[in-house]
Chains A and B, each alone.
Chain A
């Protein structure tokens, strides 16, 4: 399948008055395949939103090349923008217009009829509030209206920047379900987020960026594997004694909460079990350390997650 987003060596530098320039993107490479949900992860200030702005033609890249649905952007953007729905950061809509009027104004640009506006509102559960001013909406409702606006074009590619921002748990679950169903329809849903558990639950593939560069990309499992040392998790009654016993057997480990994370391949877990048993420490838990995306993210991005937006 041809990639729907291709980015090569994308660079964006912001010049600042009497200050050194800020490098937001530093030669980013990225390929997003067609179909499914693609998670775009990175700490604050990593360049996620700048990447989205670049591919949507909102900011001009300093160098590099980007292609959207097989077309060079921003030059050819007008030819493909009808097939791309997007939200960049918070959904920006007129607060003093009704939700429906906001969608109608956008719909007119592409000659989209009123039925599509109604269908879009219905899809995000805003039919009953469509006649109310947007300023009376909760953050979650605004987010859903933004998604409704993005869906108006019946896009083959959806680019959503932090779509779960500001949503309550019920709203997050709702959006998660919506994104899953959109991905299952054959659309490509490109979601940037810092809520890693969300991405882990919905994405088929992910990419992680840090300091404007790609640090990992692939299926969620591939990225998990690239982000952590394979190992096992062990729980024993005396964690410190267990750590010493493993160290004496040549196995590095660290105490993590109520478990020990040992740097030994799962296939060789019997080595760890034997070392512990020899000291009278019988594991109540011994399993492969599968980790999670959050852990992989922290390991891959180093200290970048502490950088402010």
Chain B
């Protein structure tokens, strides 16, 4: 298995698509950061001090306010800190390093789509070029081979996403220090960044696995991408409309909950809502990955290679 993984790893990193996508994303990120930095006007020390003072004041007011008519999830202190205690919201718009977790959540859809393309392409290319017959004459244990390839895809995409996020984080930190502010950076922020980073990378790996598994069935990159697009963009929309009770099981809703790591209210009937928790969402996503992989493995095992 170790040799198979080494072979698949060499094949993965030799793929031009992988290199082009990685370099392209890094270049696009760099260009975006430069533009954002030039458009940002850094706040003065006085403005920062005033914003911090106001945040303290608003936070204190919040704690003594009567919130009887408002549903507060969690503690009042947490509610007040999130909604009133952040000094950056009392400053003029500028590049804030404190926004990094939101920025990361924002790029997760892009990294997931890129991962889907990579996963589907790395599996489908063997069918499209006919190299699958060459591979199977070297490793006839098909499931073993597919496991190695899937493992390499998951790990490779994870590393790619980590690199992209690291580059974006470092770039945003430099841009914020030069042309914005680093107000609000504390231990909690760091932990938020790290967990968001991890979730984005895991989601990208899951997307790549789904793409690879569907490609194993469809044997073509565009077929795999088409199927995933039709499922997420068309069928899930129809299910939400016509079978709302099934909504808590849809991939899209669970991905949103998982990526933001927040509870999400999903409407299941005219007057009823279902709360999707991040933990539950993780298992549902895992289920989708497992199901598509099971299909992929089955097709790889039984299909004749012409």
Contacts and interface: CB of A to CB of B under 8 A. Distances in A.
Interface of A: 53, 56-60, 74, 77-78, 81, 84, 86, 88-97, 101, 104-106, 108-111, 149
Given A108-B3, A109-B139, A58 B10 contact: no
Interface in B5-24: 6-7, 10-11, 14, 16
B130 A92 contact: yes
Nearest to B9: A108
B303 to A, nearest CB: 9
Interface centre among A88, A92, A97, by most B CB within 10 Å? A92
Interface string B262-306: 000000000000000000000000000000000000000010111
Nearest to B5: A108
A59 B306 contact: yes
A113 to B, nearest CB: 12
Contacts of B138: 81, 106, 109-110
A13 B185 CA distance: 68
Contacts of A77: 140
B129 A95 contact: yes
A59 B306 CA distance: 7
22 contacts: A58-B133, A58-B306, A60-B304, A74-B140, A78-B140, A81-B138, A81-B140, A88-B133, A88-B134, A91-B134, A92-B131, A92-B132, A93-B131, A94-B11, A94-B125, A94-B129, A94-B131, A96-B16, A105-B10, A108-B3, A108-B10, A109-B138
B225 to A, nearest CB: 20
A56 B133 CA distance: 9
B268 to A, nearest CB: 40
A59 B304 contact: yes
Contacts of A88: 133-134, 137
Contacts of A108: 3, 6-7, 10
Contacts of B246: none
B4 A109 contact: yes
Interface string B26-49: 000000000000000000000000
A81 B138 CA distance: 7
A97 B15 CA distance: 8
Interface string B117-161: 000000001000111111011111100000000000000000000
With most chain A CB atoms within 10 A of its CB, the pick from B14, B130, B133, B138 is: B138
A59 B305 contact: yes
B133 A105 contact: no
A97 B132 CA distance: 15
Nearest to A146: B134
A225 B274 CA distance: 83
- 6 nearest interchain CB pairs? A92-B130, A108-B7, A59-B304, A58-B305, A77-B140, A57-B140
A88 B131 CA distance: 10
B14 A97 contact: yes
Contacts of B302: 60
Contacts of A97: 14
A110 B3 contact: yes
Given A57-B136, A88-B133, A94-B125, 7 more contacts: A53-B305, A53-B306, A93-B129, A96-B16, A108-B6, A108-B7, A111-B3
Nearest to A91: B134
